[in-house]
Amino acid sequence: MPHIDEGRLHAWLDRERSGMSRAEAAEIERHLATCAECRAETAVAERLRARAGSILAGAGPARVEVPAFETLVPRPIMTTRRRRSPARAMVITAWAASVMLAIGLGWFSRDLFQNEQVALESAPMVAADSPVEAELQATGPAAGASSGTAPVGAGVEPIGATQQDLPPTPAPASAAPEAAPAPPAAPLADSAPPAMARAAEPAAPTPGERVVSGQVLDERGRPLESVAIQVPGTDARALTDPQGNYSLTLPPGADEPTTLSATRSGFAPESVAVSPDSDLEIAADFRLRSEAVALSEITAATTADSTPADAPDSARPDVPDSAPADAAAAPRPSAADAPAARGFARSAAASGWSAVAREEAEVLLRQELVTLAELPIAGIEVRVDGESPIVRLTQLLSDGTELHLFQRLDAEIDPETAEIPDGWTTVSDRRDDVHLLLAGSLGEDALTILLRRAE
């Protein structure tokens, strides 16, 4: 047998993981027994192998702490129950999205909190005891406290962290003008939110109730979370968990063929018909395609008003025919800034902010805009007073929560001048010469994390 080449020698040394057959290994060993030259080569290879391992070990980190797996994986979040409290419209969705956000932030902020020795690891990600969510809940809206009628799953009080961001919600009774084709198919958004129960502790279905469950994937087969699954015309609603799974209790009497819709901003809505068989457990999976969603749609989704929904497709939040009352009173924004209509209309009346194109803002700022990565931009405005111009960038979280990112070159941003809505929190930072101020109805921790990821 000829001498053994280096590659085979290493594969032999690595035989536990190289998949070398026993026969081949035996052959090499027989050769080594007779060939002093190859034995010498083997000794060299052995040294290199061990040395390379110890060198790499010096690359650190010396100790790697393994966070509990559970802290990484949010539990399935929620299913839907059916009773309702009036007039809280989209709040519950906003709340659910906030929880999702909190989970996301909680995860991203793991290191931050660890550094600050907050024992996040011991805190279940879903419950209100993660620091971020505690903050989120602490910022709970006035309206969120108004009703005790919502059944609450697992002791979690739904809190609309974004409620203050919404135009004043009409009183239950006064919601009627908008309400249309009338019961039993109550308009989606005007009907009150269903309460959420955690999937971990689902309510026992009462006889006759049918449960639909399934998974939502994107076009590449990856699970999609935070997709709203709804039965149009009813308040049956659920959000998908991080694995894309959902479970939804159909309203009793829904023994007609039922249509489920799946919507998530950034994706084309889909509907699936559920056959009216007698099964109590129904499976319905979705596949959503991403789309460049019109910003107007996102904005509309965050508006407390909504048009009635009876056709399957209209489960998707429609653009309201008329702007909310307070927005209508303000000057209507031009077509160009329509996407941000809600945010702008409210503020434009009172202040010197004017909408600009991004390029224009960057010229005024003399810098590239700093943005919160991956969040849709709902508007860019500039205000010039005294010194340097201030740019106000409005970005939206997935639940429609508005964030204002103010930026200014070489000068502090005065929260007074910035006209930050009451009850909002602000955090500030700098990127080189640009001063940043992030404002939103979230907690300070959440804002800090968002701002830290801005670039």
Partner 1 sequence: MSIDWGEVYRGSYRELVRFLHRKVWDEERAHDLAQEAFTRALGHEPENPRAWVFKVATNLARDEARTVVRRKRHLTLLKSDAEAATRPAPTPAEELAEKEEQERVRLALEALGDRDREVLLLWDAGLDYGEIAEQTGLARGAIGTTLSRARKRLVESYEALEGENAAHR
- Using CB under 8 A as the criterion, which residues of the chain lie in contact with partner 1 when the complex forms? 5-11, 14, 17-19, 45, 48-49, 51-53, 55-56, 58-62, 64, 66-67, 69-70, 72-73, 107-108, 110-112, 115-117, 222-223, 242-244, 429, 431-432, 452, 455
Minimum CB separation from partner 1 for residue 206, in Å?
30
Specify the residue, 83 or 453, whose C-beta has the smaller distance to partner 1: 453
Minimum CB separation from partner 1 for residue 3, in Å?
14
Q: Please report which residue ranges of 118-234 form alpha helices under DSSP H.
A: 131-138
Distance between CA atoms of 193 and 430, rounded to whole angstroms?
40
Specify the residue, 111 or 291, whose C-beta has the smaller distance to partner 1: 111
Would you give the DSSP letter of residue 161?
Answer: T
CB count in 10 Å sphere of residue 404: 23
My answer on whether omega of the bond before 170 falls inside 30° of 0, hence cis, is no
Minimum CB separation from partner 1 for residue 450, in Å?
13
Would you give the DSSP letter of residue 253?
Answer: T
Distance between CA atoms of 364 and 434, rounded to whole angstroms?
12
Specify the residue, 243 or 296, whose C-beta has the smaller distance to partner 1: 243
Minimum CB separation from partner 1 for residue 108, in Å?
8
Specify the residue, 37 or 385, whose C-beta has the smaller distance to partner 1: 37
Minimum CB separation from partner 1 for residue 135, in Å?
17
Residue 350's DSSP bridge partners are none
Residue identified by tokens 């699970």 is 223
Tell me the three-class secondary structure of 31-50, residue by residue.
HHHHCHHHHHHHHHHHHHHH
Q: Note whether 248 and 211 are within 8 A (CB).
A: yes
Minimum CB separation from partner 1 for residue 18, in Å?
4
Beta strand pairing status for 425-431 and 434-440?
antiparallel
Q: Note whether 442 and 135 are within 8 A (CB).
A: yes
DSSP letters for 344-408: HHHHHTTS--EE--HHHHHHHHTSPPP-BTTSPEEEEEEE--SSS-EEEEEEE-TT--EEEEEEE
Distance between CA atoms of 447 and 441, rounded to whole angstroms?
9
Specify the residue, 192 or 405, whose C-beta has the smaller distance to partner 1: 405
Helix axes 22-34, 36-57, angle to 10 degrees: 120
Residue identified by tokens 């390029």 is 359
Cα–Cα nearest to 97, from 231, 227, 248: 227
Minimum CB separation from partner 1 for residue 103, in Å?
10
Specify the residue, 112 or 203, whose C-beta has the smaller distance to partner 1: 112
Specify the residue, 14 or 255, whose C-beta has the smaller distance to partner 1: 14
Residue 144 exposed, middle or buried by CB count within 10 Å (0-12, 13-18, 19+)? buried
Residue identified by tokens 């989606």 is 188
Minimum CB separation from partner 1 for residue 117, in Å?
6
Specify the residue, 281 or 368, whose C-beta has the smaller distance to partner 1: 368
Minimum CB separation from partner 1 for residue 285, in Å?
13
Minimum CB separation from partner 1 for residue 54, in Å?
10
- Tokens representing 323? 């702007």
Distance between CA atoms of 341 and 308, rounded to whole angstroms?
21
Minimum CB separation from partner 1 for residue 279, in Å?
23
Minimum CB separation from partner 1 for residue 48, in Å?
5
Sign of the dihedral through C-alpha 282, 210, 90, 126: negative
Specify the residue, 238 or 378, whose C-beta has the smaller distance to partner 1: 238
Q: Note whether 86 and 192 are within 8 A (CB).
A: yes
Specify the residue, 7 or 184, whose C-beta has the smaller distance to partner 1: 7
Q: Note whether 449 and 429 are within 8 A (CB).
A: no
Specify the residue, 26 or 72, whose C-beta has the smaller distance to partner 1: 72
Specify the residue, 41 or 209, whose C-beta has the smaller distance to partner 1: 41
